Amino acid sequence: MQSRVPSSSSIQDLNVKLVKIYDTNNEYMIKLTLNGTCLYMKPTTVFFLFELEQCVQHVFYELSQYTHDVSKKFEYFVSLLRQNYINKSDAGNTLYKIYDKNSVICELIVYGLDYIIYTTLHDK
């Protein structure tokens, strides 16, 4: 992409193309096209995004670990519900014992607690 000659390449379904913008001072942009939608960025912006690669990998790893931990805790919670018929109040208290009381995940699960209990007890 450092070439000043307009060119095109693809990454899976993403089409990446270096294009010259007319009515400017011979400025080139990078055109990203995916599923009929396109986005134009300055080459410096794309290079900056590449510099963030290590940060993105780090955040992705942290989120993956967090998601794995939440999934394990949720499986444990569901197994507790299936082992004992637990009413909504007891289920909420059980959640607070399994998850950190300040966890966003816990708060989100509480919003869907009725559905979770119903599904868990009826989809054995």
Q: Residue 94 in contact with residue 77, Cβ under 8 Å?
A: yes
Q: Is this prediction's pTM over 0.75?
A: no
| 80 shares a domain with 41 | no
**Is pLDDT above 50 for 3?**
no
* Domains: count for the chain: 2
| 83 shares a domain with 45 | no
Looking at the domain assignment, is residue 61 inside a domain? no
Listed in order, strand segments (DSSP E) in the chain are: 8-11, 14-21, 27-34, 37-41
User: Rounded CA gap, 111 and 91, in Å?
Assistant: 12
**Is pLDDT above 70 for 40?**
yes
Domain of residue 115, residue span: 70-122
| 42 shares a domain with 77 | no
pLDDT of residue 80: 78
| Burial (Cβ within 10 Å: 0-12, 13-18, ≥19) of residue 3 | exposed
- The secondary element (H helix, E strand) that includes residue 105 is helix 104-111
pLDDT of residue 91: 74
For residue 104, what are its two tokens? 């966003």
Looking at the domain assignment, is residue 60 inside a domain? no
| 81 shares a domain with 42 | no
